[in-house]
Structure 1
Amino acid sequence: MEKLVVLFALYTLVAGQGGKSSPPAYTTALETALRTEIFTGYSHLQRPMKQVQVNIELTLLTVNDLNIKDQSLSVSAQLSMKWQDFRLMWDSSTTLSQDYTNIKFLFSNENYMWRPCIFIENSVQDLSVISNPNTPMRLNQQGFVQWSPAGIYMVNCESDITYYPLDYQTCDLKLTTSSYTTYEIRLQMVKNVVNLDFYTKNGEWELLSATGMQSDDKARGGESFSSLTFRFHLRRRPLFHVLNTMFPVALMALLIPLTFKLHVDSGEKIGYSLTVLLAYAVYLSVISENIPSTSVSVCYMSIYLAAVLGVGTISVLFVIIVINVFHTPVEKPIPKWTRRFISLLMKIFCWKGTSCHLKSNKTETVEKTPVTEFTKTPVMTSIDEVEAEDVEEETEMTWKLVAAVLDYLFFLIFMFVVLLSTVIFVSVIVLKYVTY
């Protein structure tokens, strides 16, 4: 009898365990039943809970364009958003009509499921809420919704043109909620670094870094709204602008002092100087068209071009002076101070046929020593001969010689000014570019 009781108990236990049916395998009918059950009475206009936490990650695909004149940045990016909707759970903790655990995910879109209302605050193209019905939402058993809409976003970027064309820019993409306040939706950063796994390089701009940060809540109409900021640090690639902007500018600047190497008799001296001046004025207008009309920051390139343009203008005035001196009538005497000044310059420049040694002050001391005709020493005789030579040189000086010496003087002065300004300009922007 006892054996029968034991056997009956074992049978009951085995039968009871066998009565637990395994979850049904996935079928489209099973998914349809699940959708019908969890979406019955569901409204996509109602948020899931009192405060929804939306985790956001930005995946940067490429930098399309950074227009410093329009002060706008265009990027192709994907915004990955994740939040939890408890109304759409079907795991083991839920009380549904049957076991749906073999269905791991469901897919829907924003027409049937709630989504956070988020827009790009500093957009210059579209200020509407981020929306894409063609991008499916991925829903798992725990009610977590993953939505990753992609798009081309154009935002305002306040450009710093100080070091153009070797400049660097910092641009922000600002996200904030619409309608839902901070107490209803809280935006959270998944990580502080933008995802660059799928990034394609831009030919003009080099991406130095891309980061994300939690911004201060935005106040609108007496309410606060959650906000995030993604920041991009960009640097212009140098090769194109070095070859097509900086190099031609430096070469044209060197043409200005060469004006004084052109002989007056050629008849092209004034025409050449005006042509160089005009070329620089045209180049300045071309550069101005590519930079924004702002007074917040001043472009060193514009300062350099304006300075060289001023030097070119002054050089035209000196060219006119040289031409007038050259064509001064021979009958007009050369003033004594002019003779002394030109003689000094000729000695400094070691002008052909002129001694490079300046007259020593000791000569005056010797001249003041009283001597007689009979007590002259050989030294005094030599001094008299030098003075005679000086007098002879002065008598041979002409206006054309004066013009030639002035030409050489102005050539050295303008070459020094142009080289100095060019070296300073290049050093400033290159040093900043390398050390940034």
Structure 2
Amino acid sequence: MKGLVYNGPRDVSVNKVADPKIEKPTDVLVKITTSNICGSDLHMYEGRTSVEKGKVLGHENLGVVVEVGAAVERVKKGDRVCLPFNIGCGFCKNCERGYTGFCLTANPGMAGAAYGYAEMGPYQGGQAEYLRVPYADFNCLLLPPDAVEKEDDYVMLSDIFPTGFHATELAKVGPGDSVAIYGAGPVGLMAAHSAFIRGAAKVMLVDRHADRLKLAEKIGAIPIDDSKVDPVEAIMKLTGGEGADCGCECVGWQCHDPSHGHEIPNMTMNNLVKSVRPTGRLGVVGVFVPEDPKAEDKLAKQGQIAFDMGLYFQRGLSMACGQANVKAYNRKLRDLIQAGRANPSFIISHRLKLDEAPKAYDKFDQRGNGWTKVVLKLAA
């Protein structure tokens, strides 16, 4: 089959790779119809992770079941399914508690497994024609009759929509709240969409890329361009000097100074602390890594940031963080899509074929040039 393979920093190509096969009786094989390129894929693309050469990338996947293992009971051949990016076994201590992003079985020696991602197990990704899905009865989200009609919305259930929703859950966004979100990339836009679904009265989205800020405004959020104004001052002004009720960090350790373009890994975190009112809550889903040897910042090389702990303590803030446990949200979010209450596909800027994926990675990596979210279309 054809698959998008990592060859080295900023070098990916569509190659012939081995077809996946049923390896355990709990597996199914899925013919991929849509697979997204995620901002997290760019960490690997840029050579900032330990991903091995030859890995097929892609963890935001949707398709049709074409082969079923002997022990699979719920999922049937022909079912249209969306696959959570985190692979869970369903029976370990963490999976039983709903923390499927931290499965203790699927990736021995580490909490958490995923398709086509660095250090997240031996699993190939879905930017390919076919994908092996382990623990299929647990991991496959069955899609409703409008699966083809709304495929671009449903594929967002694999990662980006639940991750944005997770940010608002960690921040405890509620009806009438004001919300400050740093980062208007796909995750930040999904956090804003989710905040409105949860009843937020005011959502302020900080970024500097015009295409992203236009999308933020389109869904009713207040765009704040941090290349033109101090974002903390802007948020304070919009909240009568109190600060937002809660905040979401949707950028991570690769955030950049708006003036000179240098990486400042602690910038968004510390700005968020200053932007949220005393006793407010922070939800952090932007990626921070245990170590980054190629970072410019000395602390970041060791996976650390200079955090304004004193101000955080003084303001009595609380914080929760980590990757989304997709299965905690995907069924309810699926039902919101089916009911017409959620339409996460509004973030899509490009629909391309698999053979165009290398170009898409290059364009998406440049950021701010209209390439907001890329979906790869592989089959009908």
Give TM-score scaled by structure 2 length. Answer: 0.18
Q: Determine which structure has more spread, i.e. the larger CA radius of gyration.
A: 1
Higher helix share: 1
Give TM-score scaled by structure 1 length. Answer: 0.17
